[in-house]
Every structure is written in structure tokens, then in C-alpha cells.
């Protein structure tokens, strides 16, 4: 007879036997608390209302609501794995509770605890990080390879839309060669990361490859050569580079995957993925396509922080580039604030919300605090680095803007969204009258996203200040071609409201070029 198990972090929950195990040892819980946990785990991350919990845990009985709160508090104590844990028993205000950080449920034959048995793939993207091979021939270097994997697993676990198989599970396969597809099937994951470490003298070479578990296709590969001085600092540096490169690669792979699926029976995550290319487009026509997809996602999951954050961005694009309608500005702020409320531990949602709050609410203090929080959660999150670099540039905080823009470009040089990093650098260089550098950065921003009107506008301003008037006039025409609604006034209301002294030199140049007031 089979039983269904669900794993999350260091825990396994046997639904049929009603037993919770942590690191192989049973966890003692009161019967009602265990019943609540089973109901929440069976919901697979969806919200369970208090009424549903009452009905399922106390069938036919009338009990006070604080009974749920008492047992939920006990569960939270039992599930506390520290600040870096994926596992969260969340209260959804006004709706109920949800258990997040779940790995895919799978069946295990009675009497067997073999975690290598195949798991059912989850709708949520998932990854297994295999033990890195120690290719040095030096057993003492084993600790370095294992520590690298630990750091990468911890870093990946901070990506809220990604499920990560625990170290205890994947290290079963240390020094046991297996086909990637077989490993993916065993764990029920879509992606596998493997790598190796080779040390020679005081130098170390780390390789990493991201592989699609279904097709065995390499999605990304990189090699890092470093001097081995401070072991822990080196692990931190390589981990940040790997996470920064993997997240955009996975995002693109997931977006491509969902495009191939039939548009029927889509869940909230699928709908957000379908919206993503439009969300990143920056123009009102793209926002028009994304908004209904994101609204449908929120109908299925009203507390979906990323959907709220991306909706906020879409309404911001409509406000800033399609008429300055007050209802669009208010909608942008509303969804940004909802993203913060529901996604306090989601770096991407916090960063996207902070960008809207800075530009549409002009609350720079809150925005900068949210950016810092996002980067505390995931210091290699490309959205947080790019969004914050732009806002810092318009605020005149040049040194930090440059540091974050350059870090985004270094971590993930081919990410589409790095047009924002180039744009931030162009703004900073223009402020500092480094017009040749501003021109180069603006050209990179235009190359990365040719439809972004403000990039053409900054390019035109830099050309003008370099004395290349004819080219500047041509670039000004490109602004209106790509953003017909462009006016100096609309930009003053949005970006100019952050620090007028930063905006004024741009406005002066655009006025000289004859761009609409």
C-alpha cells in the first residue's frame, strides 16, 4: 500500500499515516495541530479559509476561532527552521492560512524511506542542485565544493517562485553518477544544476551548468577562475554570480515553456508567466496585453504578490506614457502596496513595488527601504538591482546607482532587463557631465530595448552636449517615433519629482532639441 508524502525544507509529512518527521525524527504535535497541517499541505500552497479549517478539523462541532490560532501558533514553533527557511505558515489577512515552500508530493511504498523514488512534477518550477565534483584529487578540498553547493541552495531558496530540493536529498547522489533526466524524474524537478571545483596552487576554477531535466538541454553554463584567498568570501562571490545568472535563465526557460502550452486551464503562475514579456516591454500597448492576464491571475490567487507588483508596473506605464490619468496612477500605487503586504519576503515583488512607489507616489524613503530589503533577501536579484539603480540615479545618489547598475551587468550581462542598468549609468554620467560615457551607456540601453523612449531621449541629450547637433536632432525624432506621447511635462511629473536638480539638465537639452513641452 502506498502513502503520500509532502516535503518542505527539512520536514516530511506523511498524509495517510498523519506523521510529521524532521531530519528523520518524528515531531510531536497535538492531534488538531497535525490535522491543520495536513489540510494546509494538501491544499498545495493555496489559501485555506478559517471556515474550511473549522469544517475539516472539527467536523460537526461548534468551536471558537481562537482554537485555530492556538494550534497555528504551535505549528509555527514546530516548523521554525530559521530565517533562511523556505517553509512559511502564512496568515492571509481576511482570508485564512497557506503553507508555502512545499516540494512536490510523492508516493512512497510502505516500509521504505527511499527519497530517490520518483516524485510528481510540480506546476511551480523546481530545481535540484547536485553535489559539485571535487576534480582536484585532493580530499581536503571536498569541504569547499560542498560549501559552495550549500550556499547556492540557500541563495536559490530565496527566489520565491522556485522550489529547491533540500541538500539532504540531493547529497544522496554524491559520488554516484546518474543521468540528468533520471535525477530530474526522481525528484520531480524541471531543472538540474551541476558543477565542479578544481584547485591548483592558490587558484581555483569553478564550473556550473544549468540543464533542462526533461530535454537534457544545457540552458546556461559558466566557468569562474579566481585566486583562492578568503574561502568564505570566494564562496559568497561565486554564489552571487551563479544565482544572478541562473534566475534570468530560468525565467526565460519558464516563459518559453508556457508559450508552448495550450491557453486552457492555466493557473495563476502560468498567467503571470504569459504576462511577463509584456510587463517588461515598458509601453502602453504591452501593458494593455498584460493587465487582463494579471487580473485573471489575481482572481485565482488574490494574494499573489508578484501579480500585484507587475500590475502596478503596467498601470504605471499607462499613467506615465498614455495620458497621465489619475486613475492609472492610483491603481499602480494600490497594487504596489498590495504586493508589499503579500510579498514581504519576495525580492522581485518588493523591488517592482518600490519602483512604482518612487515614481508614482514620490515616496523615495519607502522605496529605498524596500530596495534594501529586497537585496537583503536576494543580493543578486536582477530586478532589485536594476530598479533601484534607476531610482538612485534620478535621486542623484550617483555612487550607489553606479554600484548597483554595474553589479547587475556583471552578474547577468545578457538579461533583457539590463537596459535599465545601462539607462541608470547614462543618467549618472550625464549628471556628472561625462557626456561621452553617457552616450555609450545610452546607446547600450537603446540596443537592449529599442522601444524605450526615455533611452532615446537621454541619447539625444548626450549627443547635443557633445556638439553633435544633427545626430541629436535625429535621436530626438526617434524619441517621438517610439513614444509619441513623450513630453517634458510628463517626465517632470514622474522622474523629475524625485530630485528636480537632476532632471533640469535633461529638460533643458530636450527643450533645445524641440521636444514637446
Residue 3, φ and ψ in degrees, nearest 5 = -130, 150
Torsion (CA) 418, 326, 499, 416 in degrees, nearest 10: 0
Q: The domain that contains 201 carries what CATH number?
A: 3.40.50.10610
pLDDT of residue 412: 73
- Of the candidates 250, 284, 310, which is a domain's last residue? 250
* Domain contains 408: yes
Strand partners, 332: none
* Domain contains 368: no
- Of the candidates 199, 216, 250, which is a domain's last residue? 250
Q: What angle do the packed helices 305-321 and 284-300 form, to 10 degrees? A: 150
Residues 488, 442: Cα–Cα separation, whole Å: 18
pLDDT of residue 150: 82
* Domain contains 365: no
Q: Do 513 and 387 sit in the same domain of this protein?
A: yes
Q: What does the block give as the cell for 262?
A: 495550450
Within 301-381, residue ranges assigned H as helices are: 305-321, 326-342, 347-360, 364-377
Give me the number of domains the chain comprises: 4
**Distance (Å) of CA 210 to CA 144, 225, 245, 246, 509:** 20, 18, 10, 7, 46
Q: Do 405 and 492 sit in the same domain of this protein?
A: yes
- Minimal CA–CA distance to 250: which of 336, 131, 356, 155? 155
- Minimal CA–CA distance to 475: which of 434, 419, 465? 465
Strand partners, 220: 210
* Domain contains 77: yes
Number of helices and strands (H, E) in the chain?
21, 13
Query: Which domain does 435 fall in, by range?
Result: 380-517
* Domain contains 364: no
Q: Do 216 and 275 sit in the same domain of this protein?
A: no
Residue 49, φ and ψ in degrees, nearest 5 = -75, 160
* Domain contains 33: yes
Q: How many residues does the structure list for the chain?
A: 517
Q: Do 389 and 340 sit in the same domain of this protein?
A: no
Q: What does the block give as the cell for 189?
A: 524537478
Residues 37, 87: Cα–Cα separation, whole Å: 12
Residue 300, φ and ψ in degrees, nearest 5 = -80, -35
pLDDT of residue 3: 45
Q: Do 350 and 397 sit in the same domain of this protein?
A: no
Q: The domain that contains 500 carries what CATH number?
A: 1.25.40.10
Residues 432, 385: Cα–Cα separation, whole Å: 21
Rg of the chain (C-alpha set): 25
- Minimal CA–CA distance to 101: which of 132, 70, 80, 131? 80
* Domain contains 352: yes
Q: 583562492: which residue's cell?
A: 228
Dump strand ranges (E) for 168-259.
191-200, 203-212, 218-227
Q: The domain that contains 88 carries what CATH number?
A: 1.10.10.10
- Of the candidates 224, 250, 276, which is a domain's last residue? 250
Residues 142, 165: Cα–Cα separation, whole Å: 21
Q: Do 512 and 400 sit in the same domain of this protein?
A: yes
Q: Do 291 and 344 sit in the same domain of this protein?
A: yes
* Domain contains 293: yes
Q: Are 111 and 60 in contact (CB under 8 A)?
A: no
Residues 461, 449: Cα–Cα separation, whole Å: 18
- Run of H or E residues at 135: none
Q: What does the block give as the cell for 18?
A: 498523519
- What is the longest distance spanned by two Cα atoms in the chain? 82
pLDDT per residue rounded down to tens, the chain (517 residues): 334 667 766 677 877 667 788 776 778 787 788 888 888 887 777 778 887 888 888 876 766 666 787 788 778 777 764 433 445 677 765 677 877 665 544 443 333 333 333 334 445 688 889 888 888 777 767 777 888 888 888 888 778 778 888 777 787 778 777 888 888 887 778 899 998 888 877 888 889 999 988 888 888 888 888 887 777 778 788 888 888 888 888 888 887 777 766 555 567 888 888 888 888 777 888 889 999 999 998 988 888 889 999 999 999 999 988 888 999 999 999 999 999 998 888 888 999 999 999 999 999 999 999 999 998 888 888 889 999 999 999 999 999 999 999 988 887 776 777 888 999 999 999 999 999 999 999 999 998 888 888 899 999 999 999 999 999 999 999 989 888 888 999 889 888 888 999 999 999 999 999 999 8
Residues 457, 94: Cα–Cα separation, whole Å: 46
Q: Do 163 and 219 sit in the same domain of this protein?
A: yes
Instruction: Please give the DSSP secondary-structure letter assigned to residue 23.
Output: T
pLDDT of residue 104: 46
Q: Are 277 and 413 in contact (CB under 8 A)?
A: no
Q: Do 399 and 450 sit in the same domain of this protein?
A: yes
Strand partners, 198: 205
Q: Do 348 and 393 sit in the same domain of this protein?
A: no
Q: Whole-prediction pTM value?
A: 0.67
- Minimal CA–CA distance to 140: which of 231, 226, 224, 222? 231
Residues 461, 303: Cα–Cα separation, whole Å: 43
CB contact set of 360 (below 8 Å; sequence gap of 6+): 316, 319, 320, 329, 332, 333, 336, 494
Q: What share of the chain is helix, strand, coil (3-state, %, to 5)?
A: 55, 15, 30
Neighbouring C-beta atoms of residue 112, cutoff 10 Å = 11
Residue 396, SS3? coil
Q: Do 210 and 122 sit in the same domain of this protein?
A: yes
DSSP 91-112: EETTTEEEEESPPPPEEEETT-
Q: Do 498 and 384 sit in the same domain of this protein?
A: yes
Q: Are 363 and 372 in contact (CB under 8 A)?
A: no
Amino acid at each position: 500500500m502506498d502513502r503520500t508524502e509532502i516535503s518542505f525544507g527539512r520536514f516530511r509529512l506523511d498524509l495517510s499515516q498523519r506523521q510529521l518527521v524532521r531530519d528523520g525524527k518524528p515531531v510531536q504535535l497535538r492531534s488538531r495541530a497535525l490535522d491543520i497541517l495536513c489540510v494546509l499541505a494538501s491544499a498545495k500552497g493555496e489559501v485555506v479559509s478559517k471556515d474550511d479549517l473549522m469544517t475539516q478539523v472539527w467536523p460537526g462541532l461548534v468551536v471558537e476561532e481562537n482554537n485555530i490560532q492556538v494550534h497555528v501558533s504551535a505549528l509555527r514553533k514546530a516548523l521554525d527552521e530559521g530565517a533562511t527557511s523556505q517553509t512559511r505558515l502564512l496568515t492571509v489577512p481576511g482570508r485564512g492560512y497557506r503553507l508555502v515552500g512545499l516540494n512536490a508530493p510523492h508516493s512512497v511504498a510502505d516500509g521504505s524511506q527511499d527519497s530517490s523514488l520518483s516524485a510528481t512534477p510540480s506546476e511551480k518550477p523546481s530545481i535540484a542542485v547536485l553535489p559539485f565534483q571535487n576534480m582536484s584529487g585532493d580530499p581536503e578540498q571536498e569541504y569547499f565544493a560542498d560549501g559552495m553547493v550549500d550556499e547556492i541552495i540557500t541563495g536559490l531558496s530565496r527566489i520565491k517562485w522556485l522550489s529547491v530540493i533540500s541538500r539532504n536529498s540531493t547529497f544522496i547522489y554524491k559520488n554516484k553518477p546518474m543521468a540528468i533526466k533520471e535525477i530530474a524524474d526522481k525528484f520531480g524537478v524541471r531543472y538540474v544544476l551541476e558543477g565542479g571545483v578544481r584547485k591548483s596552487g592558490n587558484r581555483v576554477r569553478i564550473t556550473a551548468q544549468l540543464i533542462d531535466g526533461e530535454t537534457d538541454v544545457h540552458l546556461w553554463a559558466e566557468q569562474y577562475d579566481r585566486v583562492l584567498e578568503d574561502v568564505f568570501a570566494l564562496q559568497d562571490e561565486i554564489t552571487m554570480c551563479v544565482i544572478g545568472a541562473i534566475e534570468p535563465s530560468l525565467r526565460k526557460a519558464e516563459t518559453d515553456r508556457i508559450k508552448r502550452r495550450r491557453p486552457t486551464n492555466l493557473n495563476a503562475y502560468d498567467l503571470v508567466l504569459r504576462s511577463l514579456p509584456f510587463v517588461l516591454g515598458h509601453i502602453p500597448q504591452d501593458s494593455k496585453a498584460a493587465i487582463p492576464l494579471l487580473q485573471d491571475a489575481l482572481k485565482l490567487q488574490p494574494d499573489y504578490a508578484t501579480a500585484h507588483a507587475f500590475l502596478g508596473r503596467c498601470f504605471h506605464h499607462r499613467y506615465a506614457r498614455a495620458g497621465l490619468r489619475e486613475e492609472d496612477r492610483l491603481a499602480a500605487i494600490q497594487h504596489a502596496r498590495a504586493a508589499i503586504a503579500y510579498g514581504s519576503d519576495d525580492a522581485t515583488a518588493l523591488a517592482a513595488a518600490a519602483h512604482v512607489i518612487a515614481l508614482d507616489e514620490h515616496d523615495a524613503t519607502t522605496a529605498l527601504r524596500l530596495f534594501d530589503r529586497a537585496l537583503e533577501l536576494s543580493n543578486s536579484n536582477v530586478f532589485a538591482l536594476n530598479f533601484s539603480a534607476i531610482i538612485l540615479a534620478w535621486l542623484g545618489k550617483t555612487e550607489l546607482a553606479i554600484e548597483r547598475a554595474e553589479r547587475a551587468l556583471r552578474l547577468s550581462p545578457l538579461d533583457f532587463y539590463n537596459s535599465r542598468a545601462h539607462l541608470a549609468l547614462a543618467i549618472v554620467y550625464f549628471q556628472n557631465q561625462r557626456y561621452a560615457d553617457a552616450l555609450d551607456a545610452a546607446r547600450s540601453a537603446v540596443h537592449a530595448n529599442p522601444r524605450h523612449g526615455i533611452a532615446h531621449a537621454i541619447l539625444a541629450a548626450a549627443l547635443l552636449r557633445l556638439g553633435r547637433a544633427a545626430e541629436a536632432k535625429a535621436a530626438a525624432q526617434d524619441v517621438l517615433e517610439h513614444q509619441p506621447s513623450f513630453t517634458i511635462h510628463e517626465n517632470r511629473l514622474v522622474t523629475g519629482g524625485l530630485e528636480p536638480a537632476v532632471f533640469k539638465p535633461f529638460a533643458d537639452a530636450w527643450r533645445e532639441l524641440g521636444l514637446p513641452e
